[in-house]
Amino acid sequence: MVDEIQILKRALERERFSRKAAEEILEEKSAELYEAKRKLEESHNELLKLYGNASSQLQGVFENIVDPYVIMDLWGNPLKMNDAAIDLLDYEEANKKDSLLQFVNPEDLEIVTAAFKTLITKGSLTGFKLQLVTAKRLKKYVHINCSIIYEDGVAVAAQGVLRDITEEINYQKRIEGEREKYMNIINNMNLGLLEVNIKDEVLFVNQRFCKISGYSKEELLGKQAGELIPLSNDKETIKQENANRLLGESNSYEIKVLTKSGELRNWLISGAPNYNLKGEVIGSIGIHLDITDFRLLQSEKEKLLIELEKSNEELNEYAHIVSHDLKSPLRSINALISWIKEDNKDSFDHSTIKNFDLIEATLEKMEQLISNLLDYSSIGENNIEREMVDTNQLIKDLKKVLYVPKHITVHIKDTLPTVYADRIKLQQLFQNLISNAVKFNNKNKGVIEIGCEEQKERYQFSVSDNGIGIDPKYHEKIFKIFQSLSDDKESSGIGLSIVKKVVDLHSGKIWLESELDKGSTFYFTMKK
């Protein structure tokens, strides 16, 4: 019994000791916790004091800084911002509990989180760009340069300078859109575009250049264009032209090239210097047009012109020979008829004499036709001789030699100009028009008026009459050779064809205004 009591006493003593030890430990821990709480409160007060001092010290800066300036905690909550930042972010309208950073795209949060880690690690961050949503729900792009504010080596806040780059970004997007549009045009146009630097190294080619040269972009970029494509004879031309580009000269020139497949082609190149923003020549840009087919056509045309000129010469020579050979027997026939009539004037009856007269008239008409054909064939560029011709005096001289019946008057309505033309051919022109006006005038009192209207680059002449007129449906027909609307034996159908040919040789136009039985007016133009 005594032993049991002793055991209980010892156990009670141990329990009292343990409780006392626990109370001592608890009291010690409470003191530590109180000290930690006190230090935490002191740190918090120091942070507030620091912010308060900084705010006071930066107040003058806030009032004078132009760019938006913001101080925020490390969770993005604003502590202080100047008026420029308030205007940029519309922050006065915002819920003050919201974070300063409101994103357009949810994925931007990860970008900003990574940026903050970089900021805290390195202490600063520059050139950071972000799209934000302001308090008024406006989307804006901002450029941010920021840094950490430290206290005793501990990051306590962040400060940043912001710049609104919304217009700049939108402008860049528009520029990029325009660039893409024009690149599509450049790549699909029918002209080869090549850009080289001052060393003649290829910097850019479009699809058309690749097509006409046969080379791919990969085969061209970085290569020297002047050594890759032109024939050996034209490589010096390329070098000289590149030297001209360095001097700021622009011009066009033609070279022969060999494509990748070995095909010989002709290119027309228009080259111009390429400048940087400082106005320095950094290379050249060339527009290339493949003119091989054009050159082939031109060569064929030159051959045809030579052949045509030769044919015309032979034709003119033939016309003169034929004219001489035809006129000679006609004159012989005409002489024989005259002799027969003279020798047998007492033997032939009236009907026979009349038939002989018809033969003579036909022979005369044939000779006139041959002469007119010779005149028509002789009118051409090769025998035109231009000089200053006073048309006023030319008409006066014509009136003296042309047969004009007394009942018809020819007068000059306006003072006629002096023109640069072939005098003989211009005389043929007016002679045919006046003669036609006389020939086909059925009025008791015929009137022919010659006038001229001065225009900006040319003169417009007119020859009017009050004769029989011409049906409008024949206005085009009458200018064609052998087209006569009259059964008159003196009409060969060549006169107006000669008129049109003379006008064409002087680069003019001729047309007609006429009504039946009211007369006609022929208009034609000549360059000043």
Per mean pLDDT, which range of 23-27, 421-425, 474-478 is the poorest?
23-27
> Higher model confidence: residue 136 or residue 399?
399
> Higher model confidence: residue 500 or residue 3?
500
> CB of 510 within 8 A of CB of 520?
no
pLDDT at 378: 61
pLDDT at 64: 64
What percentage of the chain reaches a pLDDT higher than 90?
24
To the question of domain 385-527 being in CATH 3.30.565.10, the answer is: yes
- Using N-to-C axis directions, what is the helix angle for 391-401 and 423-439, rounded to 10°? 50
Q: What is the mean pLDDT of the chain?
A: 79
What percentage of the chain reaches a pLDDT higher than 70?
76
Token look-up 């030579």 returns 306
pLDDT at 486: 52
Enter the pTM of the model: 0.40
Token look-up 């680069």 returns 507
Q: In terms of CATH, what superfamily is 65-165? A: PAS domain (3.30.450.20)
Retrieve residue 30's tokens. Answer: 């409470």
455: helix, coil or strand? coil
* Banded pLDDT at 40 (limits 50, 70, 90): very low
Of 108, 148, 147, the closest CA to residue 129 belongs to 108
Equal fold, 189-290 vs 385-527: no
Q: Is the pLDDT of residue 375 over 80?
A: no
> CB of 50 within 8 A of CB of 34?
no
pLDDT at 341: 81
Q: Is the pLDDT of residue 214 over 60?
A: yes
* Banded pLDDT at 98 (limits 50, 70, 90): low
pLDDT at 97: 47
| CA–CA gap between residue 164 and residue 85 (Å, rounded) | 10
* Banded pLDDT at 453 (limits 50, 70, 90): very high
pLDDT at 222: 92
| CA–CA gap between residue 510 and residue 480 (Å, rounded) | 12
* Helix or strand (DSSP H, E) at 84: helix 83-89
| CA–CA gap between residue 126 and residue 115 (Å, rounded) | 10
Neighbours of 465 (CB within 10 A): 25
| CA–CA gap between residue 211 and residue 260 (Å, rounded) | 10
Pick from 22-36, 215-229, 302-316, 326-340 the range whose average pLDDT is largest: 215-229
* Model pLDDT for residues 502-519, shown as the tens digit of each residue: 899 888 999 999 988 889
Q: Is the pLDDT of residue 495 over 80?
A: no
The conformational region for residue 91 under phi > 0 = left, psi -120 to 50 = alpha, else beta, is alpha
> CB of 221 within 8 A of CB of 200?
no
Name the DSSP class of 366. H
Q: Domain spans of the chain?
A: 65-165, 189-290, 296-376, 385-527
Mean pLDDT to the nearest integer, 245-251: 87
Label residues 373-397 b or e (16+ Cβ within 10 Å = b). bbbbbebeeeeeeeeebebeebbee
pLDDT at 44: 47
Q: In terms of CATH, what superfamily is 189-290? A: PAS domain (3.30.450.20)
Q: Is the pLDDT of residue 333 over 70?
A: yes
Retrieve residue 525's tokens. Answer: 């133009």
* Model pLDDT for residues 467-485, shown as the tens digit of each residue: 998 888 877 778 775 455 5
pLDDT at 480: 72
* Helix or strand (DSSP H, E) at 294: helix 292-343
pLDDT at 9: 53
Mean pLDDT to the nearest integer, 264-268: 92
pLDDT at 363: 77
Name the DSSP class of 402. S
| CA–CA gap between residue 60 and residue 171 (Å, rounded) | 35
pLDDT at 371: 67
pLDDT at 55: 47
Per mean pLDDT, which range of 41-55, 70-84, 232-246, 334-348 is the poorest?
41-55
Of 201, 199, 221, the closest CA to residue 210 belongs to 221
pLDDT at 487: 47
Neighbours of 114 (CB within 10 A): 10
| CA–CA gap between residue 377 and residue 456 (Å, rounded) | 33
* Banded pLDDT at 466 (limits 50, 70, 90): very high
| CA–CA gap between residue 522 and residue 433 (Å, rounded) | 8
* Banded pLDDT at 180 (limits 50, 70, 90): confident
Of 405, 399, 335, 403, the closest CA to residue 367 belongs to 335
Mean pLDDT to the nearest integer, 114-143: 85
Retrieve residue 56's tokens. Answer: 């006071």
